[in-house]
Structure 1
Amino acid sequence: VAPTAEERKIVHGLFLNTLDTKTVSFRSRVLPPDSVWMEDSKLKGLEICHPQERNIFNRIFGGFLMRKAYELGWANACSFGGCRPSLVAVDDILFQKPVEIGSLLLLSSQVCYTEGKHIQVRVHSEVFDPLTRQHNTTNVFHFTFASDRDVPNIVPQSYGESMLYLDGKLCVHACARVLLSCDVYNSVPTGTCLTSPLCYFLFLLDQSL
C-alpha cells in the first residue's frame, strides 16, 4: 500500500533531519542526536528444525516458531534499549508456508520504530534450502515492547526502511489506542494489551525470561 500524504511528509521530514548542513549533497547523511540507524538495530539467528518439534502433520509446530521469533525479538529489544523489556502487544500472526523437519530456519529481527519507552520489533522468518539456494518466507512477526526508560529514536536511511518505519508506527499507535481499556486476564497488569490467547502465552513466556 502506498503511503498517504501525511506519511510522505513524515518520511520527508526524517530525510531532511539527516542531511549534513555543511555540504550540498543529498548523499551526505548524518545521524541526529540520541538516534540509531535502523540498519544498526538488527539481530539474526539460525535454528535447525529437529523432529522433536513436529506437529501431528509432521511439520514444525507453529508454537516453536513463535517462541523462537519472540525470543529473538525480545533479545533485540533488550540490547537496543539497554534493559529487560516487557511485552506489550503482538500483531496477528499469519503462517504463509509450512516448515519441514530438518529445515534451516533463518530469523532476522529489526527495530523498526521507537517512541518514548516503546520499541517496535519486526522479526522475519524464512527457510533456506541449501540444495537450491532459495529463501522462502514463512512468517513475519510484529512485537511491541516497553522499556523502563526512554529509548533512542530509530532513523531509516532507505525507502524500504522508511516503509518499515511507517508500518511500525501504525502498530505502536494501534496498540496505544487499546492499552487504557484492555485488561483481559485478571493475572495481567491493567494496561497490558493481551487480546488473544496467543498474546497471553507470550506474556507468560516473557515473565519467565
Structure 2
Amino acid sequence: MLYNVQRSKPLGLCLRLESNHCNTAEQPPINFENIKTMQEIRKNLQKMMGVSGKYEKEDRSWLIKYLPKTQEELPTRSMNDSFDMAKVPLSSDIMLQNRYTTAENGLRLGRLLEDMDSFAVWIVLKHIYDPKLPEDIPIPYAVVTLLVDDVFIEPDRYPDKDLIFSGFVSYAGKTSLEVTLWLEQLQENKLKRITKAHFVFVARDSTNTSSVLVNSLEPNGEKEKDILQHALKRNEERKRFRIDSILNKEPIPEEEALIYNTFLKTVDETEPMLGNKVLPPGSVWMNDTQIETNIICHPEDRNLHSTVFGGFLMRMATELAFLVSDVHCKTRALLKAINSITFRNPVPIGSRLILIGKICFTRDNVIVIEVLAKVDSAETKTSRTTNSFYHIFVAENNVAPVLPQSYHDAMLYLDGRRRYLDINKKMST
C-alpha cells in the first residue's frame, strides 16, 4: 500500500514537546532502534510518489484526476498526525561518517540541510491525506520548497554521533504549509540540539504546474494552539519583511545617514573631491570578497520531480559561504545562523548552475554572506536567479570591515545589516 506507508508514529508529538527539545537530563525515553533512517525515508518517498528512481521522464499527469476539488473534501489534520522522527546512524556507519565529516573533523552543515529538506518533505506528505485515494495509487502531489528561515546553529556537533530529526506541520493554509523541524544529536544518551528551522512548502499538482489544496490544520490542545499562533506570527513577519524590503521601500533616515558616513570614509582626505575614492586602511571592498563557482547539474542531484533537489542547492550554497568566510577571516569562522533561504525558480537537470557568494555586511567579528544561485541557459543566452541564501558567521576576532563601492552595493550592505539586526533580535529573545 503506497499511500499509507508513512503512517507509523514512533513517538507522539505531545510526549516529544514535554522535553521542549532542550538539553535536559530528563527526556522522554526513545527507542532509537525503531526510528527510520534517512535512507529509508527517501526510499519511502519514492514509493509514495510512484517514481522508479531511474533517470527517465515519468508521466504523472494521469494522477491529476485524483486531486480534491475543495478543501472540505479532505479531513482536518492535527500536528500529531504529521509528527515523525528519523535518524542518520553516524556512530555505526563509517561510510556515512566520511560523507558528513569536514576537513577539521567537524560535521558538514551542508549535508544536514540536505537531510532536513528531505525529511521536511516527508512530514508534509504525512500531513496530506485523502481517504478517497485508492490504496494502489501514488500521491498525486508535488511538494515544492518555498523558503527556509530561522535556522540557528549550535556549535557542539560531532561526525560520529547519531543524528536525530523530528518535526511536524505547524501551519497549513489552502495550498501552503510550514514544517517546524528539529535536528539533534545523540550525545551520552541525551539529545543535544544542533538546530531548529522552519520550512515553508507549497503543494502542487502531479505535473508541478499549479498549486493544489491540502488538508486544513486543527490544533489539539493548548500547546498546539500556541505553536499555531507562533506560526501565524512568522507568516506576518515574512510578509512585513517583503513589504519593507530595500527593493520596495527607500532606506529610512538612519540608514541613509549610515551610507553617507560610509561614503565619507572612502573620500581621499588629501584631495577631497568626488571621484577620488580610496579604501580605508584595513578595509576590503565588498566586490573583492566575491567568489563564484560553476556546476553542471547531474541526474543524481535531482528531486522527486526531476529538477535539482533543494537540499543539494542548500548544501552547495552553504559550503561556498564557508569558503568566502575562510578567505576573508584567514581562519574558520562558525556558522551561527541562516537568515533566509528562498526558492524562486526551479533548476533544470543538465543546466549550468552559477553560485556567487560575497560578504555584504560586517560588524566586529560578525559576517553576513549573500549567496545567489543563477541558471545560465546556453540556448537562450540568458541567466535567471533561482535562489538566494544569507549566512551569518561569527569569527574568533574582529574581521576586516567590508565597504560598498556603488549604490547597488550600498543597498546590499543595508539589506545585510537588516538581516544581522533581525538575527540578533531573535537570538536574544
Q: Give TM-score scaled by structure 2 length.
A: 0.42
The alpha-carbon deviation at position 142 of structure 1 amounts to: 0.5
Cα RMSD (Å) of the superposition? 1.0
- Residue segments in structure 2 that go unaligned for 5+ positions in a row: 1-248
Runs of 4+ with deviation above 2 angstroms: 178-181
- Quote the residue 1:45 is aligned against: 293
Out of 390, 409, 422, which is 1:142 matched to? 390
1:128, CA displacement in angstroms? 0.1
Any idea what SS the aligned residue of 1:39 has?
A: helix
- Identity among equivalent positions (%) equals 36
CA distance in 2 between partners of 1:173 and 1:122 (Å) = 15
**1:73 aligned onto 2:321:** yes
User: Which of residues 355, 361, 365 in structure 2 aligns to 1:107?
Assistant: 355
- Cα deviation, 1:103-135, whole Å, max 9, x if unaligned, reads 100000010111111110000110000111100
1:126 aligns with 2:374: yes
State the Cα distance separating 1:84 from its structure 2 match: 0.6
Secondary structure of residue in 1 paired with 2:343: coil
- Partners of 1:11 and 1:43 in 2: how far apart? 24
Higher relative CO (CA 8 A, sep ≥ 6), structure 1 or 2?
A: 1
* In structure 2, distance between residues paired with 1:118 and 1:92: 17
2:326 is aligned with 1:61:
no
Partner residue of 1:94? 342
1:62-94: CA deviations, max 9, x gaps? 000010011101100111011111111112222
- Following the alignment from structure 2 to structure 1, what is the Cα–Cα distance between the partners of residues 389 and 309? 16
Q: Is 1:7 aligned with 2:7?
A: no
The equivalent of 2:404 in structure 1 is 156
SS of the residue corresponding to residue 94 of structure 1 reads strand
Question: Which residue of structure 1 aligns with residue 418 of structure 2?
Answer: 170
- Tell me which structure has the larger Cα radius of gyration: 2
**TM-score normalised by the chain length of structure 1:** 0.84
Unaligned runs of 5+ in 1: 182-209
What letter corresponds to residue 150 of structure 1 in structure 2? N
- The offset of 1:51, in angstroms, is 0.2
* Equivalenced residues, count: 181
Report the Cα distance in structure 1 between the residues aligned to 2:421 and 2:330, rounded to whole angstroms.
23
Q: Which amino acid aligns with 1:111?
A: I
| Cα drift, residue 98 of structure 1 | 0.4
Residue aligning to 1:179: 427
| Counterpart AA for 2:396 | D
- Worse-matched range after superposition: 44-53 or 17-26: 17-26
